Amino acid sequence: MSQSFKLRFDQMRDGDPTAPEATEAPLGLHSIYPTVGYTRNLCLVWPDGRKLFANYAYLVAGEFEPGDETNMIRLSFSAQLITLRGYGLEPLFIALLDHLPRFILASDPRYVLDEDKANAVVIEMAVEKNE
């Protein structure tokens, strides 16, 4: 039995199955995998709501290119070539080495503030068929 099912069952038994559990973390806190596991996917989310996921098992190579202002990460999967552009992407690249990121959310570049650029911020994502 899963832990979340047990929590929901306990809430139902207490009479309020809709009350959020104080220990439940919002989705944003699960943007990386907390422990090493076997089945892992990387989900890309665009500002318009479009989503794509790729399984880490098919990740063949990754490349980080530092730039003056923006950085670039190329991820070569067996069927796709994914290109990420943004600010401060080196920590994201290191996390990708260990297959930790679960979601990568792209931000609209016009809403990125200068203080946001100190953290990893993806402003452009492109997916191409790998030949």
Indicate whether 47 belongs to any domain: yes
* Short-list 75, 88, 57, CA closest to 125: 75
Q: Does residue 77 sit within a domain?
A: yes
Specify the pLDDT at position 26. 43
pLDDT surpasses 60 at 1: no
The total of structural domains in the chain comes to 1
Does residue 6 belong to any structural domain of this protein?
no
The answer to whether residue 20 is domain-embedded is: no
Q: Is residue 44 part of a domain?
A: yes
pLDDT in tens, 38-88: 688 999 999 999 999 999 999 999 999 999 889 999 999 999 999 999 999
- φ, ψ for residue 127, nearest 5 deg: -125, 125
pLDDT score for 112: 86
Q: Which has the higher per-residue pLDDT, 34 or 80?
A: 80
Closest CA to 120 of 96, 129, 131: 96
E strands, 46-118, in order: 51-55, 59-65, 71-77, 80-87, 103-105
More confidently predicted of 78 and 30: 78
Could you tell me the residue range of the domain that residue 54 belongs to? 25-129
Chain center to CA of 10: 31
Please tell me the predicted confidence (pLDDT) of residue 23.
46
Return the percentage of the chain with pLDDT > 70, whole number: 73
Residue 62 lies in a domain: yes
Q: What is the pLDDT of residue 9?
A: 60
Tell me, yes or no, whether 2 lies in a domain: no
Confirm whether 92 is domain-assigned: yes
